[in-house]
Amino acid sequence: MKKENEYIEDILFGYFTGDLSEAQEKELLQWLEADESNKEILSKMADWWAMAHVPLFVSDMKPDFEKHFGNLKKTSSLTVYRQKINLLGKIVASVLLLIAVGSLSYFIGKYDVNNNNKIAYFETVVPMGSCSKVILPDQSVVWLNAGSSLKYSGAFNKANREIFLNGEAYFEVKRDSLKPFVVKSEVLDIQVLGTCFNVKAYQNEPVTDVALVSGKVNIHLNRKFSTSGEVVLSPNRMLSFNKKTNRAKVMEIKGEDAYTWKDGILKFTEQPFDRIARDLERKYDVSIHINSESLKKEVFSGSFSSDYSLSEILNEVDMDKKYTWKRNGHEIMIYDK
């Protein structure tokens, strides 16, 4: 049992540092489902981890972890006594059923003290300059782009499969005819049974896009923005809704082009530069100020692989040498020449 406990401790440490293989992720899920007390262990660890390692200092994390939880090795079973602590509002790692690949995302679990400390909701937040893969409780897979957040209730996959998205995500949804999968955003709701699709729905951007790769999706436009009702998408089609004009249009696309971002590829077709700039800001964690009305409206098509630097992209965008730009830390200013 001692060796088994040491191994579990290593897996738990790897979970918090974002360094787990797919095989270890499955082992962690199996361990969590084997005993309710194991979930309590992870909950306690997550609470301590969030408080103790902001910011994270890699050289100190493992010794600190062993100092606080090394007693797991000494026990014949991995159980801990219950602590009477108020968990409401504390920031913790997601406690069960959620495994994320990518150490740059973080998780928030809100507990409801009025409902026997049950988890009210989970939220995954991905900072600028990174992306993350998340496996949901129903084994659906979601890739979250930079500056995005995904939120769902503790009842997910029990009463329903409903999630809330702010930002961009690519979904591979497990089919379940009894529980439709619903993605809710500020502008629209998307209902599917099992399919692959991409949603770009940042609240601070005027356009929301839903691109379908395979299967079928039903899109319900919120009445606050549109009276168009329901739109059904077929593969290789994209619905684009403009919040400023309250108009939606459906266009033909190449489905796989919609989610190249998850592989670090920036691809755009006939996009104005002010919208491209928002993608560059998220990808490279910068703030771009466009002091050129002509550049804001100029339309571009192109593709840049993951090894392109921001400087190289800006230089290629300005092939005609009409603009000049300077950088100061995370701030980039672009002017007419």
pLDDT digit of tens for each residue in the chain (337 aa)? 445 566 777 777 776 665 667 777 777 777 776 777 777 676 666 655 544 443 333 444 455 555 555 554 333 333 322 222 222 223 333 333 333 434 344 455 555 545 554 556 777 888 888 888 888 888 899 999 999 999 888 778 887 899 999 999 999 999 998 899 999 999 899 999 889 999 999 998 999 999 999 999 999 988 666 656 788 999 999 999 998 888 889 999 998 899 999 988 999 888 899 999 999 999 998 999 999 988 988 898 889 998 899 999 998 888 888 899 999 988 999 999 8
Q: What's the rounded Cα separation, in Å, for the pair 32 and 45? A: 13
Distance CA 325, CA 335 (A): 6
E strands present in 113-173? 118-126, 132-135, 141-144, 148-153, 161-172
Regarding pTM above 0.75, the answer is no
Longest dimension (CA), the chain: 72
Query: Are 122 and 164 within 8 A, CB to CB?
Result: no
Which DSSP string do the residues of 37-75 spell out, in sequence order?
Answer: HHHHHHHHHHHHHHHH-SS--HHHHHHHHHHHHGGGTTS
Q: Which residues contact 320 (CB under 8 A, 6 or more apart)?
A: none
Q: Taking Cα atoms as reference points, which of 80, 83, 86 lies closest to residue 37?
A: 80
Sign, CA torsion 63/67/72/74: positive
